[in-house]
Amino acid sequence: MEATLKDLVRQGLQLPLMEAFYTIQGEGYHKGTAAYFVRIGGCDVGCHWCDVKESWNADLHPPTAIDKIVSEALKHSKTVVVTGGEPLMWNMTPLTDALGDAGMQIHIETSGAYPVSGRWDWFCLSPKKNQEPTSDALQMADELKVIVYNKSDFKFAEKFASQVSDTCHLFLQPEWSRREEMMPLMVDFVLQNPQWKISLQTHKYLNIP
């Protein structure tokens, strides 16, 4: 990446865009609602069960001007979900300022492992064991979504539930390949801990992005 382009990326004026698409949100608090997804490349959190590993290497995804990202988003929806990869590896302030100035509702899905940048109308925090979230991310979380791969993830979920605000919505979501094994355990857990809710990847059942 040439020096000038690297500087634009560092400033957040261009971002390594993997893909962008208009769909029905499949997970968490806003499931079932239409939204425009902006998937930013680059992630070193390294979850072995990640279903978008092709997003990890930012160099595979061309730097794209934020003006272009915003103009495409405006054609589709008033709600934009910025996801990854791990979007907070990059400076999100220029993109979210531009989206906000255009009247968009701006959501993020993040592990929270990097310093928070950008302005967000909804902050979905999905913490990961390899790199735990920052205190700022925990304080900002509107939604805590913990992926359940094995039994130890229930304790992991409780650890972070004690650190978010009282108004944060708590979700457990089975890792897709382990859903048959984990769902009965999740049902029992939520019955005993009703402050939690179950999130399913409904977009996979609907066969949409």
> 100-133: string of b/e by CB count within 10 Å (b at 16+)?
beeebbbbbbbbbbbebbbebebbbbbbbeebbb
Confidence bin at 51 (pLDDT 50/70/90): confident
Strands 14-24 and 34-40: antiparallel
pLDDT of 179 reads 96
Query: Which tens digits make up the pLDDT trace of 74-91?
Result: 999 999 999 999 999 999
Report cis status (omega within 30 of 0) of the bond before 103.
no
Domains of the chain, with CATH numbers?
A: 8-206 (3.20.20.70)
Residues 127, 146 contacting (CB under 8 angstroms): yes
pLDDT per residue over 187-202, tens digit each? Answer: 999 999 999 999 999 9
Angle at which helix 93-101 crosses helix 66-74, to 10 degrees, equals: 30
Tell whether the torsion through CA atoms of 120, 125, 131 and 133 is positive or negative: positive
